[in-house]
Structure 1
Amino acid sequence: MISINDLTFLIGSRALYDEANWHIKPGERIGLIGANGTGKSTLLKIIVGEYGPSAGTISMSKDLKIGYLNQDLLSYDSHHSILHVAMEAFERQNQLHDEIDVLLKKIETDYSEEVLNKLSDKQQEFEALDGYSIEYRANEILAGLGFSTADQHRPLNTFSGGWRMRVMLAKILLQTPDILLLDEPTNHMDLPSIKWLETYLLSFEGAIVIVSHDRYFLDKVVNRIVESRKGKLTPYAGNYTFYLEEKSLRGEIQKGEFKNQQAKIKQEERLIERFRAKASKAKMAQSRMKALDKMERVEDVDDDNPTVNFQFKFSKPSGRHVIRVEEAYKSYPNVEILENAEGLIEKGDKIALIGANGKGKSTLLRIIAGAETFDGKCETGHNVTTTFFAQHQLESLHLDNTILEELQAFAPKHTDTELRGILGCFLFTGDDVFKKIRVLSGGEKSRVALAKSLTTDSNFLILDEPTNHLDIQSVNILIQALTQYEGTFIAVSHDRYFLDNVANKIWFIEDKDIKEYPGTYAEYEEWNAKRPPAAPSSVPVRPDKEVKPKVAEQKAAPSNQQQLKKLNEQLKKIETEIAGFEQNVKSIEAEIADEAVYSNSAKLAEANKNYINAKHQLDNAQNKWEELASDIMEMEEK
């Protein structure tokens, strides 16, 4: 289908690709991955002919139809409706439709056989091209991407950049190309639209090449991975998870080969050094030197998964209650977001706020941050210090500052060594810290802004789409940072891998109220898949928030509500016990780590015995909590 042979592409004196090879076969679904700056988007532009290679060839058949989605399409503007823009994909059908309209008008006064034959021919071709169903197909794809029927008749220029990108994607999908090249297609998409796109691409009959940082999306859609790294393109069979396993195995093999070769090189060097000065052995030494120079060297394995080793601390811990939202009302023209909504964020909560676009996620974050007007209460707890990260903060970076200067101005209490350590965690090493902000890519600017957010003395973080523009490696770093963070945070993101690895509670807005699921994102997805469609309000509740039933429900089932209240009270009591048991376990762990204890066998044996008992108490309490939470969920679903 497409053959890339010995591709070299130079940017200045730097080779972005150096004699790279890649063959794309029909029907393959390929994930093109690599760190930011390795040339993934550039390679797609080379394939479609926007850039020419410095050397090498790209071969494909002349009639190959390519559908290419890239971030540059955000700038496309039109006063036509999005349905009209999407249907521009049917170029020949639209042309025939206009010609048929002209002939139908003409036939009102001209009944000649010539006009009738022309009309018949055009109508037959239009029908053969399935012209009568093109509007239905456009409606179907736009609906899948999140557009309501009313939205489809709105002009394109009334939508934000993210929604315009979806229209461009719909237009490309309607063209039914032989191969799709998709550059970060899930950017600006909500979770329902990402899931719809996954299903659509799985049924797409052509080849697909996807550049994406969404690991779950790649796992679901692709059957091959191609890694762009050090100027080469390395293929792996399977999805992203298989790629990780296979790359780890290849790395272990390469590491062993490197180690063996280095040992052989040192042995040869010792022999050469020993005999080169002796006349009788000089010829042999010279021959070995030549062989050593010609030896093809095995490279050592680089660590592509740096770890965060900086401790993100704050001077004052918050009180138990961080944020309490009560009787919140918020609406915009023609849409109500919240009505008498309530929500409680407690110390240590790691909350993922999820849902479709337009449900009010970012609005709720701004309410919590105090940056949005609304009716009701949003109380901040004792000693709570807040940092709000949103994409607009990238625009507030000072372009003439270096990366290090930007952090120095923002966090003057930190030493340069500490700041460079933080920047190292976010992949800015060595002289990188002296780069000017203005020369950074979008992903690099996001990393700088995130590093700034995590240097604050804040015990509560509000994060609005922190994974946008980040590559997979950078997302992993952010996950590590937030896992180590001992404060509280609430985050909006469409990256399911990120959410599943950082959140211990899920919030979503439903029926104009804030609903909560007490578990991880994967657990929420499993629970949500089993929810009866007719019972949207059946959600497990927080122990401190009793469901307020309608009066009719109170009369119909008073015993059920009493039992639910009793279970919530028991759950709250066990939570207090768990906190005490956890503190006891930590105290005993500290005792075991004390030299005076671990150096004394009798004291160590006693401490180990106490530790086992304490862990047993904690495990029993946690099991009891899970049983009660399960009972509450079942009662709420009745």
Structure 2
Amino acid sequence: MLLGLQNVTFEFGARVIVSDATWHIQPGDRIGLIGYNGTGKSTLLKVLVGQYSPSAGTVEKGRETTIGYLHQDLLSFDTNESITGVALGAFERVQQLEKDIERLGKELEANPESEEILLKYTDALHEMDVLDGYNVHYKAEEVLHGLGFSNEDLEKPYKQFSGGWRMRVLLAKMILQAPDVLLLDEPTNHLDLPSIEWLEKYLLNYKGSVVIVSHDKFFLNRMVNKIVELYQRQLHIYTGNYDYYEREKDIRIDMQQRAYENQQDYIRQQERFIERFKAKASKAAQAQSVQKRLDKLDVVEDVQLERPDIRINFQMDKTPGRVLVSLKHINKRFGDNVILENATGEIDRGDKIALIGANGKGKSTLLRIVAEAETFEGERVWGHNVDESFYAQHQLEALNLNNTILDEMKECGSQKTEMELRSLLGGFLFGGDDVEKKIKVLSGGEKARVALAKTIVSKANFLMLDEPTNHLDMHSVELLAGALNKYPGSYILVSHDRFFISKTANKIWEIVDHKIKEFKGTYQEWVEWNERMAKIDADKKSEGGKPKTESVKKEEAKPAAPMQEKAVSNAPVNRELQRELQKQQKRLMALETEISKASDERARLEKALGAPENYSDKKKFALVENDYRKAHDTLQSLNKEYESLFEKVMELETQAAG
């Protein structure tokens, strides 16, 4: 055993995190530590490394066992040293030997006859060779490249990088130290998809043991051979990956439920026997014996799943036009770093877009451009009737730490009453007095739930979501994915959680060569398409530019459906239906323009009603009020016509598609 807990109980104030827990980490273990938000997973890691002492029991650690622990608090570290220098800090002994060899070499030049210096110099060279010290720079660069750093980044000062990139440098250093046990607290929160995939491959061949706190199902399924679940203050150990854990947990719950029901039947039978015969002299002794057996019975608990079900119910007030956002000739750069160049894209009603790719390619920048939260060159046009809401990573930092949760919600401008806000917050697991908690005392998961609640209260028909699953546990991620699937509006999201993307997106956007590349299909279809294209490219290269076989030629010739325009159907085209559809679509676009003008006119007259020169003059006020009523009625009439026409166009589109 490398590290473990023996009958450990740990209490955080009055709250019990874990009770009488035993857990041994063995060589070769790759463990996923899971549990709902707030159960104490990060706290348990701190108990393992000795930052917290258990109330009872012991933390056991092998005498020679080394531990690496990656966690959020490391971000307070700062230095002017280059990121390569920080990563090379993993090789303290090698760095010392480099200095010793240089010093001893100079001493030997000055005193070539000294056997003592020669012996020390030879010993230092031998130890350097044993430690593979001449390859440490190569190893450090290899790991930093794998985690997404470019050649230009390697000599840049550590302090120039943002929090997520700093965490990668510290992860690189920890990997290079190669401790016996590596404890990683939410490492994928700071990584893009290519880096997560690289880390998976690296850790699968890692000689030490690994414990990972993560909500990324894909990552856990590929990485771990054990799951340890912190649930109801107990540790439940499963030998397998996350999928195995889900199946096995269902079986265990089913078995416990049956055992409970069987025992309850047995108890009822015995109690009936006691009740019936305890007054009879001939059976009293037997009844007493049965009672003693019942008193000693090890009671099986009823299965009551304690899980925090956040209630996410996205709503929208009004239906937008066909096009929500148009991006035309967009240019964006940061100094010499070109993000977008003459890029074009369009988000239509019903689009559920996942914006994916490596960090540094500009995903969050593009999302901010869509949200009008970033400067750029080019044209970005909102469609008709679009009510947008933007959930950004920085919103967690933007929360007012001195506000209570309730005050933070009141400042959203939602016009909801306190009772309505309390009810909404109850759905996000903030019940009763919890709403009076200050933001500054909340955990990362709790802050994420507050920020999500602020997004939902808006009743927007278009959502922009930047890493919405960060800090949420897996169950909450599933609930959020389910809510987005039911959401009648449209959205674009940035996420590195492959499970979440696979459950939510019907289109994929990538930034390729500074352009927006659109794939019409799900994440799984996108993965399969890329694999197919990679195979075709590999076959071409292996044959000097020619496809390998006839079957590959056919595969290449066959259009990849999601990336192409829809194939023209051979079915006869209903010309009359097409003409009617085009006519109604034109009318719908014209109506959008009329509604926009009518809305502006009503807003102008509403402002005029409040002008002193009008409300102080009865005649003027009556005229303006009359005009306002007419404008209001016109707008209502246009909106009613728009809704009716919108439904008709949808019906015609369905008929035309069929």
Matches within 5 A, 1:208-287: 208-269=210-271
Alpha-carbon distance change, 187 to 259 in structure 1, aligned in 2, over 3 angstroms: same
User: Match for residue 184 of structure 2?
Assistant: 182
SS in structure 2 of the partner of residue 410 of structure 1: coil
Quick check: 2:200–2:222 contact (8 Å CA) kept in 1? Answer: yes
User: Match for residue 339 of structure 1?
Assistant: 341
2:355 pairs, out of 350, 353, 356, with 353
Matched AA of 1:236: Y
Deviation at 1:338, TM superposition (A): 0.6
SS in structure 2 of the partner of residue 136 of structure 1: helix
Q: Distance in 2 between matches of 1:308 and 1:87?
A: 44
Matched AA of 1:151: D
User: Match for residue 443 of structure 1?
Assistant: 445
Alpha-carbon distance change, 460 to 5 in structure 1, aligned in 2, over 3 angstroms: same
Matched AA of 2:334: Y
Quick check: 1:226–1:235 contact (8 Å CA) kept in 2? Answer: yes
Deviation at 1:293, TM superposition (A): 4.0
Q: Runs of 5+ in structure 2 lacking a partner?
A: 539-558, 582-652
Q: Distance in 2 between matches of 1:478 and 1:112?
A: 75
Deviation at 1:107, TM superposition (A): 3.0
Matched AA of 1:438: K
Give me the CA root mean square deviation.
3.0
User: Match for residue 37 of structure 2?
Assistant: 36
Deviation at 1:133, TM superposition (A): 0.8
Alpha-carbon distance change, 387 to 258 in structure 1, aligned in 2, over 3 angstroms: same
User: Match for residue 317 of structure 2?
Assistant: 315
SS in structure 1 of the partner of residue 394 of structure 2: helix
Query: Over residues 100-144 of structure 1, what are the superposed CA-to-partner deviations in whole Å (9 max), with x where a residue is unaligned?
Result: 111222233222323233222211211121111111111111111
User: Match for residue 143 of structure 1?
Assistant: 145
Matches within 5 A, 1:377-392: 377-392=379-394
Alpha-carbon distance change, 535 to 345 in structure 1, aligned in 2, over 3 angstroms: farther
User: Match for residue 585 of structure 1?
Assistant: none
Q: Distance in 2 between matches of 1:471 and 1:306?
A: 10
Deviation at 1:531, TM superposition (A): 2.6
Deviation at 1:395, TM superposition (A): 3.0
SS in structure 2 of the partner of residue 8 of structure 1: strand
User: Match for residue 471 of structure 2?
Assistant: 469
Q: Distance in 1 between matches of 2:284 and 2:403?
A: 59
User: Match for residue 80 of structure 1?
Assistant: 81
Matched AA of 2:531: A
Answer yes or no: is 1:367 the counterpart of 2:369: yes
SS in structure 2 of the partner of residue 107 of structure 1: helix
SS in structure 1 of the partner of residue 189 of structure 2: coil
Deviation at 1:407, TM superposition (A): 3.4
User: Match for residue 19 of structure 1?
Assistant: 20
Structure index of larger Rg: 2
Alpha-carbon distance change, 396 to 517 in structure 1, aligned in 2, over 3 angstroms: same
Answer yes or no: is 1:496 the counterpart of 2:498: yes
Alpha-carbon distance change, 399 to 139 in structure 1, aligned in 2, over 3 angstroms: closer
Matched AA of 1:61: G
Deviation at 1:495, TM superposition (A): 0.7
Alpha-carbon distance change, 311 to 17 in structure 1, aligned in 2, over 3 angstroms: closer
Deviation at 1:44, TM superposition (A): 1.7
Q: Distance in 1 between matches of 2:657 and 2:256?
A: 48
SS in structure 2 of the partner of residue 367 of structure 1: helix
Q: Distance in 1 between matches of 2:313 and 2:215?
A: 26
Quick check: 2:310–2:429 contact (8 Å CA) kept in 1? Answer: no
Alpha-carbon distance change, 144 to 499 in structure 1, aligned in 2, over 3 angstroms: same
Alpha-carbon distance change, 202 to 187 in structure 1, aligned in 2, over 3 angstroms: same
Deviation at 1:34, TM superposition (A): 0.8
Deviation at 1:387, TM superposition (A): 0.3
Q: Distance in 2 between matches of 1:76 and 1:28?
A: 30
Q: Distance in 2 between matches of 1:303 and 1:157?
A: 46
How many residues align? The count is 556
User: Match for residue 57 of structure 2?
Assistant: 56
Matches within 5 A, 1:591-630: none
Query: Over residues 137-168 of structure 1, what are the superposed CA-to-partner deviations in whole Å (9 max), with x where a residue is unaligned?
Result: 11111111111112111111111111111111
Query: Over residues 442-483 of structure 1, what are the superposed CA-to-partner deviations in whole Å (9 max), with x where a residue is unaligned?
Result: 111101111221121200000011111111122122112211
SS in structure 2 of the partner of residue 384 of structure 1: coil
Matched AA of 1:88: G
Query: Over residues 165-206 of structure 1, what are the superposed CA-to-partner deviations in whole Å (9 max), with x where a residue is unaligned?
Result: 111111111112222111111111111000000000011122
User: Match for residue 639 of structure 2?
Assistant: none
Quick check: 2:312–2:479 contact (8 Å CA) kept in 1? Answer: no
Matched AA of 2:187: P
The percent identity for this pair of structures is 53
Alpha-carbon distance change, 426 to 300 in structure 1, aligned in 2, over 3 angstroms: farther
Answer yes or no: is 1:68 the counterpart of 2:74: no
Deviation at 1:88, TM superposition (A): 1.0
Q: Distance in 2 between matches of 1:445 and 1:164?
A: 22
User: Match for residue 407 of structure 1?
Assistant: 409
Q: Distance in 1 between matches of 2:566 and 2:485?
A: 31
Alpha-carbon distance change, 430 to 240 in structure 1, aligned in 2, over 3 angstroms: farther
Q: Distance in 1 between matches of 2:532 and 2:65?
A: 44
Matches within 5 A, 1:473-488: 473-488=475-490
Q: Distance in 1 between matches of 2:365 and 2:332?
A: 9
Alpha-carbon distance change, 266 to 431 in structure 1, aligned in 2, over 3 angstroms: farther
Q: Distance in 2 between matches of 1:143 and 1:428?
A: 42
Q: Distance in 2 between matches of 1:377 and 1:270?
A: 81
Matched AA of 2:185: D
SS in structure 1 of the partner of residue 488 of structure 2: coil
Quick check: 1:465–1:492 contact (8 Å CA) kept in 2? Answer: yes
Q: Distance in 1 between matches of 2:566 and 2:146?
A: 41
Deviation at 1:294, TM superposition (A): 3.5
Deviation at 1:314, TM superposition (A): 1.4
Matched AA of 1:29: R
SS in structure 2 of the partner of residue 18 of structure 1: strand
Answer yes or no: is 1:108 the counterpart of 2:109: yes
Q: Distance in 1 between matches of 2:59 and 2:311?
A: 44
User: Match for residue 295 of structure 1?
Assistant: 297
2:519 pairs, out of 517, 520, 524, with 517
Quick check: 2:309–2:429 contact (8 Å CA) kept in 1? Answer: no
Query: Over residues 363-415 of structure 1, what are the superposed CA-to-partner deviations in whole Å (9 max), with x where a residue is unaligned?
Result: 11111111111111111111000000012222333445543454355365556
TM-score normalised over the length of structure 1: 0.81
Alpha-carbon distance change, 284 to 184 in structure 1, aligned in 2, over 3 angstroms: same
1:125 pairs, out of 124, 127, 136, with 127
Q: Runs of 5+ in structure 1 lacking a partner?
A: 537-559, 581-616, 623-638
Alpha-carbon distance change, 119 to 514 in structure 1, aligned in 2, over 3 angstroms: same
Q: Distance in 1 between matches of 2:267 and 2:437?
A: 38
User: Match for residue 589 of structure 1?
Assistant: none
Quick check: 1:384–1:459 contact (8 Å CA) kept in 2? Answer: yes
SS in structure 2 of the partner of residue 186 of structure 1: helix
Alpha-carbon distance change, 411 to 257 in structure 1, aligned in 2, over 3 angstroms: farther
Quick check: 1:404–1:434 contact (8 Å CA) kept in 2? Answer: yes
Matches within 5 A, 1:150-165: 150-165=152-167
Quick check: 2:311–2:428 contact (8 Å CA) kept in 1? Answer: no
Q: Distance in 1 between matches of 2:110 and 2:181?
A: 46
Matches within 5 A, 1:549-628: none
Q: Distance in 2 between matches of 1:384 and 1:619?
A: 26
Matched AA of 2:524: A
User: Match for residue 607 of structure 1?
Assistant: none
TM-score normalised over the length of structure 2: 0.78
Matched AA of 1:349: D
Alpha-carbon distance change, 273 to 447 in structure 1, aligned in 2, over 3 angstroms: farther
Deviation at 1:438, TM superposition (A): 3.0
Matched AA of 1:13: A
